[in-house]
Structure 1
């Protein structure tokens, strides 16, 4: 049988989709197709963070219901499934089952139960051992925790993924070892607050934190690079930053969600840190790793955000010089604290849109200058993609997260090579192998 799966949203959803694919293979869905018309099972792995997720979901369900072949099933999974539950089937009778983000390990059961709904956010599958997919390539995602204990005013994730539980160390190391034996060289560790690992386990477990986990994972033969997302600025203590800097297998790029540069707005967001704390952690990081690559998330137009608050955000943007910025206009989400505020303190749409454009243009300027400064520098690059044909090039990422293109070379995927930057194209980097 054939499976079609559409994955929306974050890396956590991508990993959940990988788990569902591996589980469904045991149920006879041995082929994943890109054509929904020929699928026996259509899955939409949903995201609640994107704008207007419910409207888009029901539009997609309607499209799949019209094109699916006779007898094919439709399943809705993920975060939107978690908070809508039975309402999805009531509004879209063509849906055969609904599976929440915290219930992924139940996929093999639920496909046999028409109109079933499994969305409990207190369900614990942290000790469930999913099959390891073969032929994963040189990079792989690896969950180290599920759920989130934070209470950010704008975020629906705690309502869709439940309380934070860490996956036992032995399961993580076993999975990482299997991946290494399958040819994986780079791991991306996943958790809603990845550097809060060890805060809670389902079963009795020896004490360990994220710093300790990084040390253990770096001992695995074959794993050459370790990345992770997303760490919370609140949990970036000196021990963690020092391990990040000194461990040769830990890549020197880090995603540090800022959300706002205003201490007042950060307090309203319930982020737990101030502008000063954030900048202090960045300064410590740069003192240890001068060429560290730093990415972030920024929300503009959060309720009551003033021009002064926005100016604080631009100040942090300029001081840090982020390598990547995912920026959005604030959009209220159901089941969040800020959703209950209604229109109170809302920022006019045209003001928020202007601020977003201003921020993005400012960041483009920063990237152009940073790219010029890279010319002549040498990076160790993991080759991830090779294109042949009329246009031949290879590309990969440096240790500190920079995407570098090597034109006119068909290199070996998986090789780690020293590449010297020869030119910049806007914010992009172009390089060549050292002779």
Structure 2
């Protein structure tokens, strides 16, 4: 009988893709089968996130819970960014953990499971040319890593410490993987990287010159591929060539995630983001002039050290001007190994009062909810092209995402899963659009 694997994935899409690689490697090389029940698993893996403090604190609680329910001989492994960050400390703090595997060492999963009480967390390890085992489960959507690591030095971010320097994955490997996805029935591909539009800056072996704009164009030439998405582009690298390809290529979905972080140019400078409020708004204006229906999402940090009320009002001003479709907003969380953490430790700057930060976050969220309601109401009567992803046979409705990444629900008696359908919007419920086939 196959051994059973249970895996919990915390954090971003990069972690989701790493988990998919881990599953495929263990299925093919170690004869594991996936289970949703940790009690029957022979191997329990926690793929962790360390971007903020809360998920990291949650880790040891999760380990304790799994240790209570696991089978007697089952192993527990910790993977991902917190694994990279804490390394041996996880083994010292929890006797229940058998091994620790860093985010940069995913390709070693089939080796480390045979080890006992070890931590492999080399952030300089290069597996950019490693060909992972293939997941043979067909899916409408597929995710592909196009780079690993990050070269940016944002003063709040721990990712360069956990995922190492940025290396681009060879274009031929990316194209091969995309073709395999499409051959197995995938209609939409999501390209992943810490800064996807910095692609091509560095390869670990000789490689033809190619940038992200050119990569997008080459992937779009694959027959049978209907949609391309990507996350996350860095506003600094959104040049005019990229914007034109993004606007004119019909296979590229007209939704983009642009991490703002702050609307204050002064705070952006302290964050070492490399762009100003004016540059960000200029890029938005350029894209919207070419794509009026463009959907824009963003990330915002509230309460970054020294943020004043005036700085926060600059962020609200960008929110009003751009009217983001999605906003992932958080109160600043100090992370070890970052420049801002050092400032705080050395008393070089002050941390924004927690109650003030909470109040600002609530104001931001409340205003965004109002904007979302106002803009979604304008969608009634409009037609969206939707990739149908699921069919609820009991309640008779279809669900999918529009080209602009809106969640759309359609009342219908037939399943059109896998089809691209035109849908006329008839109703709005929160962030969800409801419609009927046009």
TM range (shorter): over 0.9
Q: Distance in 2 between matches of 1:311 and 1:208?
A: 40
Give the corresponding residue for 1:70: 72
* Contiguous gaps of at least 5 residues in structure 1: none
* Contiguous gaps of at least 5 residues in structure 2: none
Give the corresponding residue for 1:352: 357
Offset at residue 28 of structure 1 (A): 3.2
Of the three residues 237, 240, 243, the one matched with 1:241 is 243
Q: Distance in 2 between matches of 1:198 and 1:410?
A: 44
Offset at residue 392 of structure 1 (A): 2.1
Deviations 1:306-334 (A, max 9, x none): 11100000000010010000000111011
Structure 2 matches for 1:202-281, cutoff 5 A? 202-281=204-283
Query: How high is the TM-score relative to the length of structure 1?
Result: 0.98
Q: Distance in 2 between matches of 1:304 and 1:318?
A: 23
**Cα RMSD (Å):** 1.0
Offset at residue 140 of structure 1 (A): 0.6
Offset at residue 430 of structure 1 (A): 0.9
Give the corresponding residue for 2:82: 80
Deviations 1:168-187 (A, max 9, x none): 01100000000000000000
Query: How high is the TM-score relative to the length of structure 2?
Result: 0.97
Give the corresponding residue for 1:30: 32
Of the three residues 94, 103, 106, the one matched with 2:105 is 103
The answer to whether the Cα contact below 8 Å between 1:375 and 1:423 also exists between their aligned partners in 2 is yes
The answer to whether the Cα contact below 8 Å between 1:45 and 1:77 also exists between their aligned partners in 2 is yes
Residue 413, structure 1, aligned to residue 428, structure 2: no
Give the corresponding residue for 2:384: 379
The change in CA–CA distance for 1:418 and 1:53 in structure 2 (over 3 A counts) is closer
Q: Distance in 2 between matches of 1:279 and 1:394?
A: 36
Q: Distance in 2 between matches of 1:198 and 1:341?
A: 33
Of the three residues 390, 393, 400, the one matched with 1:388 is 393
The answer to whether the Cα contact below 8 Å between 1:9 and 1:50 also exists between their aligned partners in 2 is no
Deviations 1:278-330 (A, max 9, x none): 00000000001010010000010111111110000000001001000000011
Give the corresponding residue for 1:45: 47
Offset at residue 60 of structure 1 (A): 1.0
Q: Distance in 2 between matches of 1:303 and 1:34?
A: 41
Q: Distance in 1 between matches of 2:218 and 2:412?
A: 39
Instruction: Give the secondary-structure state (helix, strand or coil) at the position aligned to 1:243.
Output: helix
Give the corresponding residue for 2:10: 8
The answer to whether the Cα contact below 8 Å between 2:30 and 2:110 also exists between their aligned partners in 1 is no
The answer to whether the Cα contact below 8 Å between 2:49 and 2:56 also exists between their aligned partners in 1 is no
Instruction: Give the secondary-structure state (helix, strand or coil) at the position aligned to 2:378.
Output: helix
The answer to whether the Cα contact below 8 Å between 2:52 and 2:335 also exists between their aligned partners in 1 is no
Give the corresponding residue for 2:285: 283
Instruction: Give the secondary-structure state (helix, strand or coil) at the position aligned to 2:425.
Output: strand
Offset at residue 222 of structure 1 (A): 1.3
Offset at residue 70 of structure 1 (A): 0.9
Deviations 1:344-401 (A, max 9, x none): 3211111000000100010001001111111111111100121121x22111111111
The answer to whether the Cα contact below 8 Å between 1:387 and 1:410 also exists between their aligned partners in 2 is no
Residue 91, structure 1, aligned to residue 96, structure 2: no
Offset at residue 338 of structure 1 (A): 0.9
Q: Distance in 1 between matches of 2:384 and 2:408?
A: 9
Q: Distance in 2 between matches of 1:3 and 1:208?
A: 38
The answer to whether the Cα contact below 8 Å between 2:246 and 2:252 also exists between their aligned partners in 1 is yes
Offset at residue 428 of structure 1 (A): 2.4
Give the corresponding residue for 2:143: 141
Q: Distance in 2 between matches of 1:426 and 1:69?
A: 43
Offset at residue 157 of structure 1 (A): 0.3
Deviations 1:189-235 (A, max 9, x none): 00000011000001000100000000100011111100000000000
Instruction: Give the secondary-structure state (helix, strand or coil) at the position aligned to 1:298.
Output: strand
